[in-house]
């Protein structure tokens, strides 16, 4: 009998604690969402993120659907990734990773491209002082999107490796990376110089470094044709 009474007592205590915990988490004003904090922003307005998050103030914190908040926030074109957590007793914290605009893509209009090759929005109302990726036919984007994405990534690779390989070019010196279905890839410099890389840009950039080492000064405009794997044609402009 004593054991039975003890077990009943333990069950009653556990039930009381459980009910109290549920009340504390779902019913108490102490654990309702009073604040939505947004971290990691440099480009986006926090008001836009809170709107997309759609977290109802006054909602019990345990009732906030974190997956829905992430899905809402990641609808913003500048958001690459978002993480959301509950911060008891009364906050939701949204951590945002913004996209980094690396280049502009010229199709029917100018679009922003991030460092992963994602075309994420039209380039309205933002700085246009970025290299431009050109030459990709518009029908590639609509009819062969995978091919278009691969070309964009190749153009970004050319952009990133041009400075590393040549030893003379910096990204700020590059005006354009151009794709041509017949000739391959070309780097156009802000000083008017052109470097034709063909369809094997990594190999061509390695050969460009060897050309720059003995004395081809890329600070002055040249047209350098590296389209042939065995021949380099350098023409002052």
Total number of domains constituting the chain: 2
Tell me if the pTM is above 0.85.
Answer: no
Alpha-carbon gap, residue 220 to 166, rounded angstroms = 14
pLDDT single digits (tens) 152-175: 999 999 998 887 766 667 788 899
> Is position 152 within any domain?
yes
Could you tell me if 94 and 110 lie in one domain?
Answer: no
**Cis peptide bond upstream of 177, omega within 30:** no
Q: Which residue has the higher pLDDT, 202 or 135?
A: 135
Residue ending a domain, among 77, 98, 119, is 98
The domain of 211 spans: 101-236
Give the pLDDT confidence score for residue 129 in this predicted structure.
85
Could you tell me if 61 and 170 lie in one domain?
Answer: no
- Cβ contacts of 131 within 8 Å, gap of 6 or more: 103, 104, 159, 171, 174, 175, 176, 177
> Is position 10 within any domain?
no
The answer to which of 45-49, 180-184, 219-223 has the lowest mean pLDDT is: 219-223
Could you tell me if 85 and 118 lie in one domain?
Answer: no
Could you tell me if 59 and 158 lie in one domain?
Answer: no
Give the pLDDT confidence score for residue 222 in this predicted structure.
86
CATH number, position 85: 3.10.20.310
Could you tell me if 65 and 131 lie in one domain?
Answer: no
pLDDT single digits (tens) 80-120: 999 999 999 999 999 999 999 999 999 999 999 999 999 99
Could you tell me if 195 and 212 lie in one domain?
Answer: yes
Confidence class for position 25, pLDDT limits 50, 70, 90: very low
Give percent above pLDDT 70 in the chain. 83
Residue ending a domain, among 98, 114, 138, is 98
Could you tell me if 106 and 79 lie in one domain?
Answer: no
Could you tell me if 47 and 144 lie in one domain?
Answer: no
CATH number, position 190: 3.40.50.11690
Could you tell me if 202 and 216 lie in one domain?
Answer: yes
Count CA atoms closer than 13 A to 78's CA, side-chain side.
17
Could you tell me if 143 and 120 lie in one domain?
Answer: yes
Q: Is 228 left (phi over 0), alpha (psi -120 to 50) or beta?
A: beta
187 in Cβ contact with 168 (< 8 Å):
no
pLDDT, mean of residues 198-223: 81
> Is position 16 within any domain?
no
Residue ending a domain, among 62, 78, 98, is 98
Give percent above pLDDT 90 in the chain. 61
pLDDT, mean of residues 143-149: 92
């Amino acid at each position: 009998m004593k054991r039975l009474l003890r077990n009943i007592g333990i069950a009653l205590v556990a039930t009381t604690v459980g009910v109290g915990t549920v009340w504390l988490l779902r019913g108490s004003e102490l654990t309702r969402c009073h604040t939505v904090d947004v971290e990691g922003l440099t480009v986006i307005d926090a008001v836009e993120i809170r709107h997309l998050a759609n977290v109802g103030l006054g909602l019990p914190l345990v009732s906030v659907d974190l997956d829905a908040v992430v899905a809402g926030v990641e609808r913003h074109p500048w958001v690459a990734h978002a993480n959301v957590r509950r911060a008891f007793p009364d906050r939701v914290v949204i951590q945002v990773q913004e996209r980094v605009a690396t280049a502009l893509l010229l199709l029917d209009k100018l679009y922003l491209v991030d460092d992963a090759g994602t075309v994420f929005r039209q380039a309205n109302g933002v700085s246009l002082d970025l290299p431009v990726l050109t030459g990709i036919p518009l029908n590639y984007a609509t009819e062969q999107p995978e091919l278009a994405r691969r070309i964009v990534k190749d153009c970004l690779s050319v952009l990133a490796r041009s400075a590393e390989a040549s030893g003379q070019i910096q990204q700020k010196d590059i005006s354009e990376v151009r794709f041509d279905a017949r000739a391959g890839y070309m780097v156009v410099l802000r000083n008017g110089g052109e470097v034709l890389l063909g369809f094997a840009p990594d190999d061509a950039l390695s050969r460009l470094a060897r050309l720059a080492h003995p004395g081809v000064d890329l600070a002055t405009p040249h047209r350098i044709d590296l389209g042939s794997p065995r021949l380099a044609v350098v023409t002052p402009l």
